[in-house]
Chain A
Amino acid sequence: MNKLSKLFTEDLSRRRFLAGAGMTAAVAAVAGCGGSSDMSGTTSPIVSPPITDADILNFALNLEYLEAEFYLRAVTGSGLSSTDAGSGAADVTGGAAVSFKTPAIQQYAQEIANHEQEHVRFLRKALGSAAVSRPAIDLTNSFNAAAMAAGIGSAFNPFADENSFLVGAFVFEDVGVTAYHGAAGLLSDKNNLAAAAGILATEAYHAGTIRTLIAELGDPYLGFANKISALRASAGGGAETTLDASHIVAADSNSISYDRTADQVLHIVYLNPASGFVSKGGFFPNGLNGTIKASAS
């Protein structure tokens, strides 16, 4: 009884996080056809595939592929090995070794690249045969489109120099933090939760370092970062903290970091603010791989 009610609560939260493809539409349809108050109980229950821990970890794996490709290409010029990308992995467009001038920035970049590669490997291993392969990733047109939408300019190449690289990194890091935060509570297995919490805190460290460095740089890079921040909020929804020397941490008025639903994250990585069904675009031109891939709201 107790366990059942717990499962039910968890399932509800999962739906809220996922607001998944079909689910919201189904709710809307039920509400619409019912007109007034349809409390008779005759409405058939919303049928949706059960979302498993594997679905959520695969959602995370897609985001880790994106981060790993971005950082690895920035520091080495090449991305994940074919083993790490999985069988039948799709192509990656763009990305090049950044010509770093400051040893410290190169060392930060190398560290983050290592971590993102480790996250890919960890999640692939944890998921085993259920792991999705790398989806198609675009690191050229995506940044140009983001720059345009954010009002930074008609094009933006995060691999052009080390300061542009930091702004490129900024695009991802806080999103990773909010995505893992949104997902953490939905995992059923305590071991998965512990792993997710460990990865999430590492992403928060990354975000803290990137935000510290950009705040130190000042304009124009600080201005670019805040335009990206505004774009994330408008494209996907979810709260953001405008970066300056007194606001290194992205958090709410209780000093608790923000979270995002999968829907919000999808709108951001697809760079598509249009409400409703969005299944690809931006950084993932053919969409994510796995069950959580399309927004519904």
Chain B
Amino acid sequence: MEHFDEKKTAIEESGESRSRRSAVLFGSAALAGFALGTKAFAQSAAPTDNDILNFALNLEFLEAQFYTLATTGMTLDQAGISTKGGGGSAGGTVTVKSGAKVPFTTPSLQQFATEIAMDEQNHVKFLQTALGANAIAMPNIDLLNSFNALAAAAGLGATFDPFASETNFLLGAFIFEDVGVTAYQGAAGLLSSKTILDKAVGIHNVEAYHAAGVRTRIFQAGAAAQSASQAIAMTRAKLDGTNNDDIGVSVSGGASTIVDCDSNGMTYARNTTQVLSIVYGGGAAGTGGAFFPSALNGTIK
């Protein structure tokens, strides 16, 4: 119990620093608008479509690395997928245990994991092509300390290895998938180009298909996996500052909770600040932490 309280305090503290950071962000946006000078309307804060696509590319790099390592034991570079920027800048490092390939015993789960790996690789390649010379290089990614820290924050133990077993892999996947859905949903309304919006919505859908497949299998895995998913969902909701925009897998009123959605039957939207706070594990904007120890690449970081 004491242990739990300690963690709770840590989370609360990170939540507090998050809101302070938001305030700072707003401050700098306002300053930037002011600095633009004579125009009465500050438009500087609005990200461009490329900014948003690069934000998405960072997240796709994370997902693609995770699934490619889980299914093949190889990083993207080892699997022949470039992590370089559009201008040729080198991709970052990947921190992960050696021999990350999951010891799958259920063929259909292995096939599903492989399908997701291909999808995420395709998303990386699609965004790289769409962004061309503007594409960011892969930032540094951590798939070792990040999971340990998140597990501790969620009260799941001091360490967590998502590559150790099929159930752990599902929980590791769970951490990303719903975040991807909420991130694309939050970003959709910011895109100016209808063509890009159409593609983003299509990727958004695919992430939701993934999330459903993962959550359905967690549901089937039983009570322990379900309650772990609830702890992770609660942690995500705390990290993004709302405390109420995420639900794990369970049964409520005779209905399963496969879909991570609100009382209108709509999936949640997260803004980029909220997404950053989750993938940084509460780390400061621009500094990073957890899955992105050196922050994202690009303008939204």
A residues sitting closer than 8 Å to B (CB atoms) are 9-10, 13, 104, 106-108, 110-111, 113-119, 121-122, 177, 181, 184-185, 190, 193-195, 197-202, 204-209, 211-213, 215-216, 245-259
Contacts and interface: CB of A to CB of B under 8 A. Distances in A.
Nearest to A216: B108
A205 B122 contact: no
Nearest to A190: B189
A201 B202 CA distance: 10
Contacts of A212: 112, 212-213, 216-217
A261 to B, nearest CB: 12
Interface string B172-203: 00000000010001001100001001110111
A122 B208 contact: no
B263 interface: yes
Contacts of B201: 181, 184-185, 197, 200, 257
For A115, A181, A201, A216, the residue with the greatest tally of chain B CB atoms inside 10 Å of its CB is A201
A204 B111 contact: no
Interface stretch (B82-90, B152-160, B252-260): B252-260
B185 A198 contact: yes
Given A206-B212, A213-B216, A249-B206, A114 B265 contact: yes
A97 to B, nearest CB: 13
Q: What are the 5 closest A-B residue pairs judged by CB atoms, nearest first?
A: A208-B212, A198-B266, A256-B202, A204-B208, A118-B265
Interface in B225-272: 251, 253-269
Interface of B: 107-108, 111-112, 114-115, 118-120, 122-123, 125-126, 181, 185, 188-189, 194, 197-199, 201-206, 208-213, 215-217, 219-220, 251, 253-269
Contacts of A116: 265
A256 B203 contact: yes
Contacts of A249: 115, 119, 206, 209-210, 213
Given A10-B194, A122-B266, 8 more contacts: A107-B255, A185-B197, A197-B188, A198-B261, A201-B266, A204-B206, A206-B259, A208-B209
Contact of B205 (A104, A114, A200): A200
Contacts of B108: 215-216, 245
Contact of A115 (B120, B204, B261): B261
12 contacts: A119-B264, A119-B265, A181-B198, A185-B201, A197-B189, A198-B262, A198-B264, A200-B205, A208-B211, A249-B213, A257-B202, A257-B206
Contacts of B122: 253-255
Nearest to A115: B265
For A107, A209, A255, the residue with the greatest tally of chain B CB atoms inside 10 Å of its CB is A255
Contacts of A121: 264
B265 A122 contact: yes
B205 A204 contact: yes
A114 B119 contact: no
For B119, B125, B189, B209, the residue with the greatest tally of chain A CB atoms inside 10 Å of its CB is B209
Given A208-B212, A209-B212, A251 B266 contact: no
